[in-house]
Every structure is written in C-alpha cells, then in structure tokens.
C-alpha cells in the first residue's frame, strides 16, 4: 500500500519540557491508523505538527509526492473545534470547500448528500447557532471531508457524541477508508478504536509505546489472563507455571500469563489445592493495556521488553 504520510523522529518541546520525542509512523492509503494515548500524551501535538499549525523542533514530516503540506488534499477535524455562529450551515460548508479550492457546485451536491446521510436534511439554511452540539459536530465532520481529501486527520472525532452518532461516524470513516482515503485518527476511547483501526500507535508521555498492526498487537501484547475468585495464597499462585504477575484484591486474583501459554494445557496444570469459585480466562483487552499505561502499572513495559 502506498504511504501517504510518513513521520520520522518527530520532536517538540515547550520551554524545556519535551512534549513529544522520537515519534515515527506512517499512514497508508486506504487504512485507518489510530494514535492512542491518555490525555496529555501528545496526540494533538503530534497532529498539529503534521498540519503545520505547530513547527516541530526535530524530525521530518513527509507527504507523498509533495514537498509542502498539501493542504487542499488533507481534511482536518481538530480536537478544539467549532463553527462561525451567525452563518448558515451551507454557507460555511461552501466557504470551507472554497478554501480547499474544491469546485463549488460539487461541494454543494456533496454537502446536501452528507447532510442527508447525517440526518440533517433541510438544515442547510439554518444558522449554525441554532444547531445542537451533536449537529454541530456532524457539520464539522462534513466540512472536513467535503473536498474528498486523500488524507483525513481526525483528532478525537468521537468526543461528545452520543452512541448513535458515534456509530454513524464510525461507519462513514470505514467507508472513506474503503474508498482509498488514508485516515489518521486520535482517540482515548480504546474500544472504538479497537473495532475499526487497522494499525495503531500508542503514545504515552510523548513517547512510543506500541506501534503496529491491530491484529499483531493483539496477539503480541494481549496475553491471556486468568481471573480466579476464591481465597488463594499469593505465593502459591505466583509459583504456577507461565504466570508472570499476580494481582490480588480481596478474594479475586488475576494471573497474567506469559505469551506462549496454551490455554487448555495450562488449565490442566492447575493444582487441585486451588480454591475456585469462579474462573475465567480471556485475553487482556487494549482497554486494559491502555489503563495500565495511563496509570503507570507498567504491565506492558515488562512485556514490551520481552517481546519488542
């Protein structure tokens, strides 16, 4: 797949504080690439550097076949977003399309199609200030894709949306990717991203934690964990085979298993002395990895050292 955007060794500091460092990733045609990370991890800073709204202190940002930022071919939905208040929906959509040098007539057609798609039919002549927050979000989204961008950058596209609209956005983003748009989106909602992203870049405190294919990442990092309800001695659990780490809270113990464990045979190897009221075995979700990172439990770092 063609690489549309490639970021190499990006670094940016405010005063003496390094906000991001050594950030490298690529976005390819027709894929959804997600930048994940807790609040303040440096997601928006990375995106703003790509958009040329900030200037990086280090590293390079390269767009396919372009020396400068090809602004007309990028759609951008910033995290901090809004619209002019006292103008009509259609007027602002056309203005933003005009800024991208997109033909007006086509823009008008596309605007109407998308308004209809997003349940905003007939709102084109309504003043922006009369829209609800969710409607406003939809209009902003339409504005970012009205000019058929080759690269679409969405910074927290789902924040503040109700589940129905979230679904609508997700579908449309997938659609665009299928049609060949390269999509870079940032989010802190792991569950949403897990479903739709092809690749992900997990960032924390401005540094790369994980970068790779969603499936690879899942098999690589999302090991099995076994949750046992019942009073058991921690030392006993720790000495079970393939157990890397044990977390205990009241009567519940969570055993984090090593990567290569065979779930079935491992279960057979459990000693009879174990008190089991309930037992479940499943994979660590991205959500848990995310929380772990954000709360500095460093579960992943250990894993990362082993498997990186």
Q: How far apart are CA 182 and CA 264, in angstroms?
A: 40
Q: How far apart are CA 36 and CA 5, in angstroms?
A: 17
- Only segment of 30-38, 108-116, 140-148, 196-204 that touches other proteins (CB under 8 A): 140-148
Task: Determine contact, residues 275/252, Cβ cutoff 8 Å.
Answer: no
Minimum gap (Å) between residue 128 Cβ and other proteins:
9
DSSP 71: G
Q: Judged by CB, which is closer to other proteins: 144, or 165?
A: 144
Q: Judged by CB, which is closer to other proteins: 154, or 286?
A: 154
Out of 21, 28, 100, 225, point to the residue binding other proteins (CB under 8 A): 100
Q: Judged by CB, which is closer to other proteins: 76, or 158?
A: 76
Q: Judged by CB, which is closer to other proteins: 77, or 176?
A: 77
Q: Judged by CB, which is closer to other proteins: 77, or 120?
A: 77
Out of 1, 9, 14, 95, point to the residue binding other proteins (CB under 8 A): 95
Comparing C-alpha atoms, which of 155, 11, 174 is closest to residue 75? Answer: 155
For 286, other C-beta atoms within 10 Å of its C-beta total: 22
Minimum gap (Å) between residue 71 Cβ and other proteins:
5
Q: Is 213 buried (19+), middle (13-18) or exposed (0-12) by CB count in 10 A?
A: middle
Comparing C-alpha atoms, which of 80, 81, 109, 78 is closest to residue 93? Answer: 109
Minimum gap (Å) between residue 72 Cβ and other proteins:
8
Beta bridge mates, 13:
18
**What is the size of the binding site for other proteins (CB under 8 A)?**
26
Q: Judged by CB, which is closer to other proteins: 55, or 260?
A: 55
Site string for other proteins, 68-87 (x = CB under 8 A): ---xx-x-xxx-xxxxxxxx
With b meaning 16 or more CB within 10 Å and e meaning fewer, what string describes 222-251? bbbbbebeeebeeeebeebebbbbbeeeee
Under the binding rule (CB under 8 A), the answer on residue 46 touching other proteins is no
Minimum gap (Å) between residue 137 Cβ and other proteins:
12
Q: Is 295 buried (19+), middle (13-18) or exposed (0-12) by CB count in 10 A?
A: exposed
Q: Judged by CB, which is closer to other proteins: 1, or 53?
A: 53
Residues at the interface with other proteins (CB under 8 A): 48, 51, 53, 71-72, 74, 76-78, 80-87, 91, 95-96, 98-100, 140, 143-144
């Amino acid at each position: 797949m063609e690489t549309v955007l490639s970021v190499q060794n990006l670094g940016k500091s405010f005063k003496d504080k390094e906000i991001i460092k050594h950030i490298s990733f690529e976005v390819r045609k027709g894929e959804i690439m997600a930048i994940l990370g807790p609040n303040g991890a440096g997601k928006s800073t990375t995106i703003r550097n790509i958009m040329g709204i900030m200037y990086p202190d280090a590293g390079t940002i390269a767009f396919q076949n372009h020396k400068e930022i090809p602004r007309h071919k990028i759609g951008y939905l910033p995290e901090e977003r809004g619209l002019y208040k006292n103008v009509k929906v259609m007027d602002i959509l056309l203005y933003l399309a005009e800024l991208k040098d997109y033909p007006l007539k086509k823009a008008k057609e596309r605007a109407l199609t998308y308004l209809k798609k997003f349940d905003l039919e007939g709102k084109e002549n309504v003043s922006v200030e009369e829209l609800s927050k969710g409607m406003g979000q939809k209009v902003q989204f339409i504005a970012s894709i009205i000019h058929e961008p080759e690269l679409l950058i969405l910074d927290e596209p789902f924040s503040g949306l109700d589940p129905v609209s979230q679904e609508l956005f997700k579908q449309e983003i997938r659609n665009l990717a299928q049609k060949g748009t390269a999509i870079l989106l940032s989010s802190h909602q792991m569950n949403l991203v897990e479903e739709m992203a092809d690749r992900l870049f997990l960032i924390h405190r401005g540094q790369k934690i994980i970068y790779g294919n969603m499936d690879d990442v899942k098999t690589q990092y999302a090991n099995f964990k076994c949750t046992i309800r019942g009073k058991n001695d921690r030392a006993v659990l720790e000495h079970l085979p393939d157990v890397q780490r044990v977390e205990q809270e009241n009567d519940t113990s969570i055993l984090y298993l090593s990567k290569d464990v065979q779930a079935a045979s491992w279960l057979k190897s459990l000693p009879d002395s174990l008190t089991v009221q309930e037992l479940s075995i499943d994979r660590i979700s991205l959500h848990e990895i995310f929380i772990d990172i954000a709360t500095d439990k460093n579960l992943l770092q250990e894993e990362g050292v082993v498997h990186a």
